[in-house]
Amino acid sequence: MATIVSYTARPRRLTQALLLAFAVVIGVGAYALVGLGRFDEVPADLMQVGVGSAVLAAALQVVVMWRTPYADPVILPLVVLLNLLGIAMIKSVHAANEIYGLRTSASADRQMLWGIVGVVLCLVVLVLLRDHRRLRRYTWISAVVGGVLLLLPLVPVIGDSRNGSRIWINIAGNSFQPAELAKIAFAIFFAGYLVSRRDTLALAGPKVLGIHLPRWSDFGPILVAWGFAMAVLVFETDLGTSLMFFGLFVAMLYVATDRLSWLVIGAVMFLPPAVFAATQMSHVRTRLTCWLDPLSSDNYSSCEQINQGLFGLANGGITGAGLGEGRPDVVPHAESDFIFTSFAEELGMVGAFALLLLYLLLVQRAIRAAVGISDGFGTLLAGGLGFTLALQVFVVVGGVTRVIPLTGLTLPFLAAGGSSLVCNWIIVGILVRLSDAARRPAARQVEGLDAPAAPRPAPEVVS
Amino acid sequence: MSELTLVALRLGFVLALWIFVIVVVLVLRNDLFGTTVVTRSSRDPRRDQRPAAGPPGGAAAPAGADSGSARTDPEVTATAMVVTAGPLRGTSLTLGSTPILIGRAPECTLVLDDDYASNRHARVFQREGEWMVEDLGSTNGTLLSGRRIDGAVPFRPGAQVRIGRTEIELRRGPR
Lowest mean pLDDT among B13-17, B61-65, B134-138: B61-65
Q: What average pLDDT does this structure show over B91-117?
A: 80
Tell me if chain A has a CB within 8 Å of the CB of B34. yes
Q: Residue A357: what pLDDT?
A: 96
Interface test with A, best of B2, B7, B27, B42 (most A CBs within 10 A): B27
What digits encode the pLDDT tens for the residues A107-119?
A: 888 899 999 999 9
Cα gap A221→A227, rounded to integer Å: 10
Which of A2, A9, A462 lies closest to B33 in CB terms? A9
Please say whether the beta carbons of A434 and B80 come within 8 A: no
Interchain pair B136, A459: CB under 8 A = yes
Tallying the residues shown for chain B, one arrives at 175
**Predicted confidence (pLDDT) at residue A157 exceeds the cutoff of 50:** yes
Cα gap A384→A382, rounded to integer Å: 5
Per-residue confidence band for A197, with pLDDT thresholds at 50, 70 and 90: confident
Nearest to A132 by CA among A438, A460, A367: A438
Interchain pair B33, A439: CB under 8 A = yes
Per-residue confidence band for A442, with pLDDT thresholds at 50, 70 and 90: low
- Torsion angles phi and psi, residue A41, rounded to 5: -150, 155
B123 vs A contacts (CB less than 8 Å):
455, 458
What digits encode the pLDDT tens for the residues A44-99?
A: 899 999 999 999 999 999 999 999 999 999 999 999 999 999 999 999 999 999 88
Tell me if chain A has a CB within 8 Å of the CB of B175. yes
In A, minimum Cα distance to B2 occurs at: A40
Q: Residue A410: what pLDDT?
A: 87
Q: Residue B60: what pLDDT?
A: 39
| C-alpha distance from residue A386 to each of A5, A150, A316, A439, B58 (Å) | 28, 20, 30, 17, 38
Cα gap A358→A355, rounded to integer Å: 5
Lowest mean pLDDT among A159-168, A256-265, A346-355: A159-168
Per-residue confidence band for A451, with pLDDT thresholds at 50, 70 and 90: very low
A458 vs B contacts (CB less than 8 Å):
99, 123, 125, 134
For residue B63, give how far its alpha carbon lies from the nearest alpha carbon of chain A (Å). 16
Interchain pair A2, B40: CB under 8 A = yes
What is chain B's alpha carbon radius of gyration, rounded to the nearest angstrom? 23
Q: Tally C-beta pairs within 8 A across A and B.
A: 185
User: If 0-12 CB within 10 Å is exposed, 13-18 middle and 19+ buried, where does residue A455 land?
Assistant: middle
Tell me if chain A has a CB within 8 Å of the CB of B32. yes
Q: What average pLDDT does this structure show over A124-143?
A: 90
**Predicted confidence (pLDDT) at residue A358 exceeds the cutoff of 90:** yes
Higher pLDDT, A392 or A445: A392
The DSSP secondary-structure symbol of B125 reads E
**Predicted confidence (pLDDT) at residue A196 exceeds the cutoff of 90:** no
**Predicted confidence (pLDDT) at residue A456 exceeds the cutoff of 50:** no
- Torsion angles phi and psi, residue A5, rounded to 5: -110, 130
Cα gap A303→A297, rounded to integer Å: 10
Q: Residue A207: what pLDDT?
A: 67
Q: Residue B77: what pLDDT?
A: 60
Nearest to A65 by CA among A129, A122, A11, A124: A11
Cα gap A155→A354, rounded to integer Å: 41
What digits encode the pLDDT tens for the residues B14-28?
A: 999 999 999 999 998
Please say whether the beta carbons of B19 and A350 come within 8 A: no
Interface test with A, best of B24, B91, B92, B110 (most A CBs within 10 A): B24
**Predicted confidence (pLDDT) at residue A26 exceeds the cutoff of 80:** yes
Q: Residue A235: what pLDDT?
A: 77
Which of A8, A361, A443 lies closest to B24 in CB terms? A361
What digits encode the pLDDT tens for the residues A404-440?
A: 888 878 899 999 888 899 999 999 999 999 999 988 8
What number of other Cβ atoms are within 10 A of residue B87's Cβ? 13
Q: What average pLDDT does this structure show over A313-339?
A: 88
For residue B169, give how far its alpha carbon lies from the nearest alpha carbon of chain A (Å). 11
In this prediction the pTM is 0.77
In A, minimum Cα distance to B169 occurs at: A4
**Predicted confidence (pLDDT) at residue B46 exceeds the cutoff of 50:** no
Cα gap A46→A114, rounded to integer Å: 18
Q: Residue A121: what pLDDT?
A: 96
B55 vs A contacts (CB less than 8 Å):
443
Interchain pair B33, A446: CB under 8 A = no
Burial A411-425 (b: 16+ CB within 10 A, else e): bbbbbbbbbbbbbbb
Percent of chain A whose predicted confidence (pLDDT) is above 70:
89
Higher pLDDT, A260 or A93: A93
Tell me if chain A has a CB within 8 Å of the CB of B39. yes
Q: Residue A444: what pLDDT?
A: 45
**Predicted confidence (pLDDT) at residue B53 exceeds the cutoff of 80:** no
Lowest mean pLDDT among A131-140, A428-437, B42-51: B42-51
Q: Give the DSSP letter string of B133-173.
A: EEE-S-SS--EETTEE--SEEE--TT-EEEETTEEEEEE-S
Q: Residue A213: what pLDDT?
A: 67
B18 vs A contacts (CB less than 8 Å):
350, 354
**Predicted confidence (pLDDT) at residue A10 exceeds the cutoff of 90:** no
Tell me if chain A has a CB within 8 Å of the CB of B37. yes
- Torsion angles phi and psi, residue A7, rounded to 5: -105, 120
Q: Residue A310: what pLDDT?
A: 92
Nearest to A57 by CA among A30, A84, A34: A84
Tell me if chain A has a CB within 8 Å of the CB of B148. no
For residue A79, give how far its alpha carbon lies from the nearest alpha carbon of chain B (Å). 12
